[in-house]
Chain A
Amino acid sequence: MPRYVMVIDVERCIGCMACVIACKKENNVADGYFRTRVVEEVRGEFPYLRMELRSELCNHCEIAPCIDACPTRASHRAKDGTVQIEKKKCIGCKACILACPYDARYSTPEGVADKCTFCDHRLKEGKNPACVETCLGHSRIFGDLDDPNSEVSQLIKKYDASVRLEFAGTRPRVFYINKKFAGGL
């Protein structure tokens, strides 16, 4: 079983939002719903300001609260190690949406739960997820952490990698690398 992770180099994200829409087109996501997003956080007081552009998506946690919460095994861990939803088993109880601390999930117009799949249909063909493929800043990097030569392994080795809400104990597989700048006079 590979250990697919995504490493996000926050410094390189330029907020083009291509990932947000590429994902939707690749996965036929319904109008008004999103599987990934970009958060623009600006802190400080004029003219001493700092900006972070951070993309967020399902973390495919190693201890996934959504899998625990699902009564029908619609939410499950697939053979490639990613967390997936088998739509035909989903009863739309929305327990998984409440269980996820990362706002990764939503309820489709058809009444079932949905979320980022790491584009598993592309992984099978040896391609990267759509968001990674189109990322203009080369900010989203994807690969197998169990492969010591992969770009993700190199990045996590060299740099401080943090995860969202580490204290929630979910052991996410999306890592953030951050080398901050400070602006201003």
Chain B
Amino acid sequence: MSITRRDFLKIAAVTGGVAAVGTPVVNSVLALGKKPVSLPQYVPTTCEMCFWRCGVIAKVIDGKVVKLDGNPLHPNSRGKLCARGHGGIGLLYDPDRLKTPLINTGGRAEGKFKKASWDEALGYVAEKMQKIKENYGAESIVLLTHGTISTYFIHLLQAFGSPNFAFPSFALCRGARDTAFEITFGEAVGNPERVDIQNSKVVVLIGSHLGENAHNSQCQEFAEAVGKGATIIVVDPRFSTAAGKAKYWLPIKPATDLALLLAWINVIINEGLYDKEYVAKYTVGFNEVASAVKEYTPEWAEKETDIPASLIIETARVMGKNKPHVLIHPGRHTSWYSDNVQRVRAVAILTALLGAYGRPGGIYLYPKKKLEPVFLSEKDYPDHQKPEIHKGNYPFAGEEGITHAIVRATLTEEPYPIKGWFTTGINIIKAMPNQKDTLKAIQKLDLLVAVDMMPYDGVVLADVVLPECTYLERHDDLFTVKERAFGISIRQPVVQPMYDTKPGWWIAKELGKRLGLEDYFPWNTFEDFLKMKCETWGIDYSELAKKGYISFPESEKPYITADNEPKFKTPSGKIELYSKELKEKGFDPVPKYTKHEQPPEGWFRLIYGRAPVHTFSRTTNNPSLWELMEENTAWVNAKVAKRMGLKNGEYIVLINQDGVKSNKVRIKITERIRPDCLYLVHGFSSTSKLLRKAYLRGADDQQLITRYDIDPIAGTVGMRVNFVKIAKEV
């Protein structure tokens, strides 16, 4: 049969018509059966993915958290969240989360867990605690703690009769810098640090790797400073992200930072680049400092630090020229060597000489607001018979306690045996150096209790594991935020606790009940306590719950002005460039340089740091963050690697000076690090099999930190004193 033209046109028309009509018909057919979308709820709360504690607004649809956004009202977030903040959803829905209380049925640290009810688990703990109290005294139970759960458990332990607790954040992290600033200026630097970066003309980072250390608002301000053309000076043996923004990157020989600081002070004093008026008005001890730094010339410092004298002079002049809008970042993790406090003292002295304390672009002053403290209960704690051991014998140890003093006391049983450890919100294996000591110490205990959200390395060693729900599922105490202005931030549940997990306050209260300590938890739910606290403070609780953050803008008085004169809570009432306090306790009143041991030939100094997508070991298993960074890598200088015949990305093993071998780790061959260093991001290679994503991924730097210095002033540790060498994968 033949097809006529008419037929052809008919067929074409029909086909075209079908196509034209068909599309919308198909569209509407496909639309049938689609569910109507529920409206989202927005609940404000406070993040706890790290300790910046940004304001968060959670978007919840049908009881599921679908997005987290920064609360625009909160000064730490300013409407934005870092990668970890967004990863909170990954924590909430991590299948490896602790779901029920667990009791170990095997020997200590064997982790042969059986599921238990809260009644059973809490009863077990209470019984053991009473026994220890009978035989050894309540002081024999100590608390190692971090995060908001500390509030409840410090209260519980003190009500029980033990004064002994420690936060890792003092001795293992920021204790030195707070001590140094307290000695010099009479007050700590604060959290968030009172750094006025967005107005700085010069930003000096000593070891700080802001950017990889993703503290939200501080990173925002750093980027702002960079965008406004501030001069960035980075002193770091590694070319960090911050160094990538820097005009001056000084790849300093590790452990010589104090030499550089003293040389800078030397130049600034000699060339008269310091703020003479400010120094005269607000400081004491200038002459002593001037004579003490005479020997610390740039030429001398060049020999110590590997940084040319001309560059030391040039950068000092840059600072001097731009005073007082110079920020020398006080640092945060400052537990490097045995002279931490003296090193940060030099930073503080330099800051004062440049007149930057209380001036734009330097360190801004605390907001002017004081609220009367509201305690969890009005009842007094019982007196403890035995002496407290948690501060060691360090004259300037902070109230937060010294972790290694507790470990030492447990190991030596001096002055009395320690028989019980509570570890809440802390991973004792990853946080504390010399893991062997920790493992030996816990063998001496009668009771080891862990309260946490995830089965971290330290958690799975416990006799009893009590699962706390995540920050998205609980109330916590109100946060007093002392940024430029004073503010209050709320944490409230965004969704109900999943599985059989409970908020920290409930766990402490229930345990307290079983210990006869109900009177110390007089409120029914923690929200009742919060409402009472708000009432005491004259804050509208419902407004706080709706907005998430309430600010007191009139409290913002960041700079020294005629009607805002600073008050320095030092013995002299002024900034103590020369510290009589230190002298009286037998320490150098002005920092003196000491040489530290350098790695022998063929060895590298192990240095460590942070990654922007992780909060050390807390997040290495978080599915949302794990897919951004699954494992850490060992940074090795390219020339060194070439000499050793290593290929980029191949697996190597690190062995430290005590023969400890790390897990296999990929090598990152890079130009970005000195030949005498090797760098790892801290917190990887979990030893807990229950963390299926994080288990044995990468290398654990803490495992290789088998020896540590102790700064005698405040008891902070020095963890950068370990040397490693490379072995090809065994």
Contacts and interface: CB of A to CB of B under 8 A. Distances in A.
Q: Do the two chains touch directly in the complex (Cβ atoms below 8 Å apart)?
A: yes
Given A42-B672, A133-B69, A183-B243, 13 more contacts: A14-B222, A16-B83, A18-B80, A20-B83, A21-B86, A49-B672, A51-B243, A130-B67, A136-B223, A137-B226, A181-B244, A183-B234, A183-B239
B628 A21 contact: yes
B219 A137 contact: yes
A183 B247 contact: yes
A26 B86 CA distance: 10
Interface stretch (B161-169, B208-216, B587-595, B597-605): B208-216
Contacts of B80: 18, 133-136
B235 interface: no
B624 interface: yes
Contacts of A110: none
Nearest to A138: B223
A185 B311 contact: yes
A16 B627 contact: no
Given A21-B87, A46-B671, A185-B311, A14 B241 contact: yes
Contact of A51 (B66, B241, B311, B673): B241
A181 B246 contact: yes
A15 B86 contact: no
B89 interface: yes
Contacts of B637: 46
A14 B224 CA distance: 11
B212 A15 contact: yes
A25 B86 contact: yes
B487 interface: no
A18 B248 CA distance: 27
B79 interface: yes
Most A C-beta atoms less than 10 A away, residue of B80, B250, B311, B674: B80
Nearest to A45: B671
Contacts of B234: 183
A47 interface: yes
B331 interface: no
B73 to A, nearest CB: 15
A183 B639 CA distance: 19
A16 B671 contact: no
B223 A15 contact: no
B220 interface: yes
25 contacts: A12-B227, A14-B210, A14-B222, A14-B242, A15-B241, A16-B211, A16-B219, A17-B613, A18-B80, A21-B624, A21-B628, A22-B86, A24-B86, A25-B66, A25-B624, A31-B623, A42-B239, A46-B637, A46-B638, A49-B239, A134-B69, A139-B223, A181-B245, A183-B239, A183-B249
A9 to B, nearest CB: 7
Most B C-beta atoms less than 10 A away, residue of A88, A130, A183, A185: A183
B212 A26 contact: no
A184 interface: yes
Contacts of B224: 12, 138
Interface string A37-49: 0001010111101
Contacts of A183: 234, 239, 243-244, 246-249
A73 to B, nearest CB: 9
Contacts of B227: 9, 11-12, 137-138
A14 B628 CA distance: 16
A136 B241 CA distance: 14
B81 interface: yes
A137 B223 contact: yes
A24 B624 contact: yes
Contacts of B638: 45-46
A109 to B, nearest CB: 14
Contact of A14 (B81, B85, B223, B627): B223
A171 interface: no
Interface string B225-263: 011000000100001011111111111000000000000
Contact of B219 (A9, A24, A51, A136): A136
A14 B69 contact: no
Nearest to A46: B671
Contacts of B86: 18, 21-22, 24-25, 134
A47 B249 contact: yes
Nearest to A184: B249
A51 B83 contact: no
A52 B311 CA distance: 24
A11 B68 contact: no
A42 B638 CA distance: 13
B211 A44 contact: no
A90 interface: no
A148 interface: no
Most A C-beta atoms less than 10 A away, residue of B83, B219, B220, B625: B83
Contacts of B671: 42, 44-46, 49
A28 B613 CA distance: 19
Contacts of A181: 244-247
Interface in A1-33: 9, 11-18, 20-22, 24-26, 28, 31-32
Contacts of B85: 18
B137 interface: no
A50 interface: yes
Interface in B69-119: 69-70, 79-83, 85-87, 89
Contacts of A13: 223
B241 A134 contact: no
Contacts of B68: 25
Interface string A119-162: 00000000000100111111100000000000000000000000
B123 interface: no
Given A21-B83, A183-B249, A50 B244 contact: yes
A12 B245 CA distance: 9
**5 closest Cβ contacts across the A-B interface?**
A51-B244, A137-B223, A14-B211, A183-B249, A46-B671
Given A21-B87, A49-B671, A183-B246, A138 B226 contact: no
B308 interface: yes
A20 B624 CA distance: 10
A53 interface: yes
Interface in B642-695: 670-674
Nearest to B210: A14
Nearest to B220: A136
Nearest to A139: B223
Nearest to B224: A138
B226 A11 contact: yes
A51 B670 CA distance: 13
B612 interface: yes
B32 interface: no
B307 interface: yes
Nearest to A21: B86
B612 A16 contact: yes
B30 interface: yes
Interface string A47-70: 101111100000000000000000
Interface in B399-417: none
Interface string B689-722: 0000000000000000000000000000000000
Contacts of A31: 623, 627
B216 A136 contact: yes
A107 to B, nearest CB: 17
A16 B244 contact: no
A40 B239 CA distance: 12
Contacts of A138: 220, 223-224, 227
